[in-house]
A and B are shown apart, each in its own frame.
Chain A
Amino acid sequence: MAIYVLRRVVTSIGLLFLSSVLIFVVLRLIPGDPTITKLGGGMTAVDPRAFQALRHQLGLDRSLTHQYVHWIGGVLRGDFGQSYFSQFPVTTLIKERAGSTLELAAAALFIGLLLSVPAATIGAIWRNRYFDAVLSGFTAVGMSTPAFVNGLVLIVIFGVKLKLLPTQGYVSFQNHPLESLKTVILPAVTLAIAIAAPIMLILRSSLADVASAPYIRTAQGKGLLRYQVVLRHVLPNATIPALTMIGVIIGSLLGGSVIVEYVFARPGLGSLMVDAIYQRDYAVLQTLVLLAAGVFIISSLLIDLLYGVLDPRLRVRGQEA
């Protein structure tokens, strides 16, 4: 068991390190230069000395290794640098936007689970062909419609035509709970549709897998009603494999939030990342991608460990390998 945990932790740290190097190098390979983007947009002849001075100030005239060491050193001390453009500390920028993205993600996850879990469970209990077909249909359409299309439709219906809900902006929940809910509903529903579909798919297939296992038949043999079987035995066992897909869900949430934040003009980490890419703000981008990679790696590590705890078979296999 201990070996298993150690192996996973070491691999994770290695991956985090690898990600940091990769982000760093890739960013500097892309054409486009933050100094040009910052100074050059005016189309007038800016003295080359200004570019040199800025490059020096941002440390971009040092060697790649030196820059990387400087950055990583800062990261390990908790100093993530400043945006090349606004000169705000990166941590401030992230803190400002994180609230909005977290609210959106939480709301979307909540709505998504609200839609998918009961539907999949009912489907497993009822086992009605027509219900299954309709469910498949919704899942399929949900996965086939790009998020920006969903978002646009919702904006046009609720924002422009009915004028019921705001079509953009963000109010933090702490400031004004009611306004906050109003601004988050449309984007959250859009994002929820995007993630409910894969959640439903995974849940349905793992429910089906578990339902065909021998121990379920035993439970049925014991005389339990179908819904009791599902709720007491099938669902708990089905969620474990579904947890492994949490990484993919988180990825979908973050990726989906980029588009949704864009469509709904909602400030957040997604739009921060897109702005940083367009401006080539290396400092912000490096930290954001590292953060995303870190969240993903750590969460999958935790899930793996949890899985190891919950499923004794894995522990044994881990020792064998």
Chain B
Amino acid sequence: MAAFIVRRLLQSILVMLVVAFVAFLLFNYVGDPINNMVGQETTTLERDALRERLGLNDPFYVQFLRFVGNAVQGEFGISYRLARPVEDLLAERLPATLELSIVSALIAMGVGLAMGVYTALNRDGWLSRAFMFGSLVGVSLPTFLIGILLIYVFAVELRWLPSFGRGQVVHIGWWTTGLLTASGLKALIMPSITLALFQMTLIMRLVRAEMLEVLRTDYIKFARARGLTNRAIHFGHALKNTMVPVITITGLQLGAIIAFAIITETVFQWPGMGLMFIQAVQFADIPVMSGYLVLIAFFFVVINLVVDLSYYAVDPRLRVESARGAGGH
């Protein structure tokens, strides 16, 4: 167990270092950082002085170590476009993205689970078939198209819901939340559904497949032979055993939701980190890009780590097998 945790931790640190290295290369070698900071009338002498002062003449590894040191303390430099510290910008936008992602994850999990169980128990019902076909369309339907469709129907034609922004937000310390105002909740409806839809189809298919597999096993047949009610068999015995892989995949999907939020945020002009990242890409705002890169990698590494460890805790079989390598399935 200890060896497993240590190895996973080392792996996570390695991933972070690689990502930090990419971000560092981007930050230091794409364009000239000095050129991006000073005006045109700055003399060569002043530029050299600034270069020396910022440590850009130091050896490569010293600069990289300094970059990592700063990143650990949450410093990523000044945005070229907005002329403000990147960490402030990210902190400002973090609540919007997290709120959207978490609400979407909850919707996807709740609805996906219910639909998955339903389609597994009523395999040939017309509603199940409709769900299954719908999920296939859902997989082929790009996120941004869903968003556009929703906007057209509910914002342009029916005028029920706002098409952009977060509505009114409430400040709680440095955190801003739209969950406490009516306009904030209204603004959240369409983006969260858009973001949840793809994951929902995924969770539904997964739950269905796992459930069907479990229903074929001997202990379920035995439970039937014992004369237990369908309800007890389906929800007490079958569902419990389908939950392990479902929780793992859903956990991992939380990362995917944060990534897909980039698209949803752009469609709905949701003021989160993803929208800021896309704008940074369009304007070649390197510090914001590298800051976002490191932060999102950190999220992913933490999520992966937590999911792996919890999986390990939940499924005793892994403890036997994990003596060699965690890869493959």
A binds B: no
Residues of B within 8 A of A (CB): none
